[in-house]
Amino acid sequence: MHQESPIQRRKSTQIMVGNVPVGGDAPISVQSMTNTRTTDVEATVAQIQAIERAGADIVRVSVPTMEAAEAFRLIKQQTNIPLVADIHFDYRIALKVAEYGVDCLRINPGNIGHEDRIRAVVDCARDKNIPIRIGVNAGSLEREIQEKYGEPTPAALVESAMRHVDILDRLNFDQFKVSVKASDVFLAVESYRQLAQQIVQPLHLGITEAGGARAGAVKSAIGLGMLLSEGIGDTLRVSLAADPVEEVKVGFDILKSLRIRARGINFIACPSCSRQEFDVINTVNALEQRLEDVITPMDVSIIGCVVNGPGEALVSDLGLAGSNRKSGFYIDGKRQKERLDNTDLVNLLETRIRQQIAMRAQRIDVKETDVE
């Protein structure tokens, strides 16, 4: 029941962050960042693993000191997902985490000092096939750019980004991606639009410091949604003052809404009204929690009455149309003889959904066996 997205992606080159392709025709990857102290290896590893279970493709870890770099070595040994080291100013930390197997360096070349230090990092990255992310933030622009523009503007963010890009160009290094983040939606969006016209490298999207779980999700959905709908963006992070796992969920929800990338269940649910024949809100909330482990793309419509229920069910993988005492149940748009008891919908729907996932997996296995 899934439809192709009508969005035409901006053409970009492709880099590899560990085993994850970024840019080109690769799926738009979803990232998050740990908020534990990196020197607390056990807590950081546990959080990375939780982020990975939520479906993230890449995780960023702050490495502010050499002590943190030594902790990173242990963290890298205990995790599988590609890791990006977030580093500011000290080129020696970049060299150390490169030695320890980092998959990407988030470091702005212009901020790490003399040319010989920049060259040392770039040569190391080239030798070890490690890409670099240039990360420009409206809140930390160079002093001369702040003085030139007076306040963060799209032109200011892009000029800052291009300074770093020019350094890598001069050193003949093209394995990089760029971000120009701001907490203001319009500032971030216009900055990305302008930058997208000046470089061919992948763009890492984000509305930085977006806020708490609810407000930050809304702000990110608007800003990232605007850019993604224009075909801009190759990887993204939703920045929330919340559990990083929530960032991953919101990121995938944004991609699902634009039909760019499907992962897990897309619940189509009515806001409910006095026509509802069962408690729609609690049913959907319970199912979302129970089925968080599902990664198979699936559209499930849960509508509380027969006004919109049948229509939504016809275009869903599984559908429920509320009716008195027992509700109509649909699979692949076809109404089933079975009707589901309204007093036990959560259990019944969870069972039916998992049955369909298992059947689909079995069909895929059969097809692969036929091919072999």
E strands, 206-311, in order: 235-237, 265-269, 298-303
Q: How confident is the model at residue 152 (pLDDT cuts 50, 70, 90)?
A: very high
Phi/psi at 338 (nearest 5 deg)? Answer: -70, 135
Write out 121-153 in H/E/C secondary structure: HHHHHHHCCCCEEEEEEHHHCCHHHHHHHCCCC
221's tokens? 């959905």
**Residues 169-217 pLDDT 10s:** 999 999 999 999 999 999 999 999 999 999 999 999 999 988 899 999 9
Whether residue 163 has pLDDT greater than 60: yes
Whether the full predicted model's pTM is greater than 0.85, yes or no, is: yes
User: What is the average per-residue pLDDT within 30-38?
Assistant: 97
Q: How confident is the model at residue 360 (pLDDT cuts 50, 70, 90)?
A: confident
* Per-residue pLDDT, 209: 87
CA distances from 49 to 54, 76, 288, 296 (A): 9, 12, 20, 20
Whether residue 370 has pLDDT greater than 60: no
User: What is the average per-residue pLDDT within 32-41?
Assistant: 97
d(CA 165, CA 174): 9
Q: How confident is the model at residue 64 (pLDDT cuts 50, 70, 90)?
A: very high
Whether residue 371 has pLDDT greater than 60: no
Q: How confident is the model at residue 277 (pLDDT cuts 50, 70, 90)?
A: very high
* Per-residue pLDDT, 233: 98
* Per-residue pLDDT, 52: 96
Q: How confident is the model at residue 329 (pLDDT cuts 50, 70, 90)?
A: very high
- Residue intervals in the chain for CATH 3.30.413.10: 265-371
DSSP string, 49-70: HHHHHTT-SEEEEE--SHHHHH
**Residues 226-264 pLDDT 10s:** 999 999 999 999 999 999 999 999 999 999 999 999 888
* Per-residue pLDDT, 365: 59
CATH number of 265-371: 3.30.413.10
Q: How confident is the model at residue 111 (pLDDT cuts 50, 70, 90)?
A: confident
**Residues 284-311 pLDDT 10s:** 999 999 998 888 899 999 999 999 999 9
User: What is the average per-residue pLDDT within 38-48?
Assistant: 98
- Residue intervals in the chain for CATH 3.20.20.20: 14-257
* In contact, 213 and 27? CB cutoff 8 Å: no
Give the range among 61-75, 137-151, 195-209, 351-365 with minimum mean pLDDT.
Answer: 351-365
Instruction: Tell me which H or E stretch contains 347.
Output: helix 345-371
Instruction: Tell me which H or E stretch contains 319.
Output: strand 318-321
* Per-residue pLDDT, 2: 59
Whether residue 71 has pLDDT greater than 60: yes
- 312 appears as a binding residue in the annotation: yes
CA distances from 172 to 94, 123, 325, 370 (A): 19, 10, 69, 48
User: What is the average per-residue pLDDT within 34-57?
Assistant: 97
> Which three-class secondary structure state does DSSP give residue 27?
coil
* Per-residue pLDDT, 1: 56
* Per-residue pLDDT, 8: 93
Whether residue 79 has pLDDT greater than 70: yes
Q: Which of the following CATH numbers is that of domain 14-257: 3.40.50.300, 3.30.930.10, 3.20.20.20, 3.20.20.70? A: 3.20.20.20
Beta strands 298-303 and 20-23, pairing class:
unpaired
Q: How confident is the model at residue 78 (pLDDT cuts 50, 70, 90)?
A: very high
Residue 42 neighbours by CB distance under 10 Å: 11
Q: What is the mean pLDDT of the chain?
A: 94
- 104 appears as a binding residue in the annotation: no
* Per-residue pLDDT, 262: 84
* Per-residue pLDDT, 364: 58
Side chain identity at residue 286, one-letter code = A
